[in-house]
Structure 1
């Protein structure tokens, strides 16, 4: 199997509200609108997040994004009017995370691995 692209699909019931939320999260409009009720952001080379109008499945997605600096991403999102919650450290102390629900109830978590000296 030779995979060239991976898409994570986030189902939503209110497409306009969700699109506005994700535009604030990414800090930019969608890269593509392949069809009605579908918006797509390429977040890394070969990887995209798709927002899909799918009311029956809305609120069931969980998306975790590994980032370099969770606190900085939370700060930048706040500047764009989006509250991603408090930065927390996981109980075992390996990650810093911040998590928020989109308008449909889907959970988006930002995670930063904490590198400790050996």
Structure 2
């Protein structure tokens, strides 16, 4: 059974979030669903969307896992080139690493990778 995944991020101010997520993800959204919702396709059938829902803003916790640590390093460097630095960097005992970013509302978007 084919599935699509839409991971939602509630935000306080749509315009502020739109600009921040364009910097984080490196592109404008794949499509705009409404005046207060934008959607990015990260990979086939895998989407992240922001939606203006102030009453829920700041509570999202998502991690995007990449194939290997070289990919992770490249992504973190690209994001830094767009002016965003991780709020946290972690290395777990099994060698998995994670860089966590926090949007203006405090939602956490992490990028992780494991050694090959």
Output the TM-score relative to the length of structure 2. 0.89
Q: Is 1:43–2:45 an aligned residue pair?
A: no
Give the 4+ runs in structure 1 shifted more than 6 A: none
Q: Secondary structure at the match of 2:42?
A: strand
Q: Secondary structure at the match of 2:110?
A: strand
Structure 1 gaps, min length 5? none
CA shift, 1:66, in A, is 0.5
Distance in 1 separating the partners of 2:115 and 2:87: 19
Residues 10, 61 of structure 1: 8 Å contact kept: yes
Q: Is 1:76–2:78 an aligned residue pair?
A: yes
Q: Give the length in aligned residue pairs.
A: 113
Q: For residues 28-78 of structure 1, what are the alpha-carbon distances to aligned partners after superposition, in whole Å with 9 as ceiling and x for unaligned?
A: 101100111000001110111010000000000001000232221111001
Output the TM-score relative to the length of structure 1. 0.88
Distance in 2 separating the partners of 1:105 and 1:87: 16
- Single out whichever of 54-63 and 3-12 deviates more from structure 2: 3-12
Distance in 2 separating the partners of 1:40 and 1:81: 21
Distance in 2 separating the partners of 1:101 and 1:8: 16
Structure 2 gaps, min length 5? none
- Single out whichever of 32-41 and 68-77 deviates more from structure 2: 68-77
Residues 70, 87 of structure 1: 8 Å contact kept: no
What RMSD over aligned residues (CA atoms) do the two structures have, in Å?
A: 1.4
Distance in 2 separating the partners of 1:86 and 1:105: 13
Q: Secondary structure at the match of 2:73?
A: helix
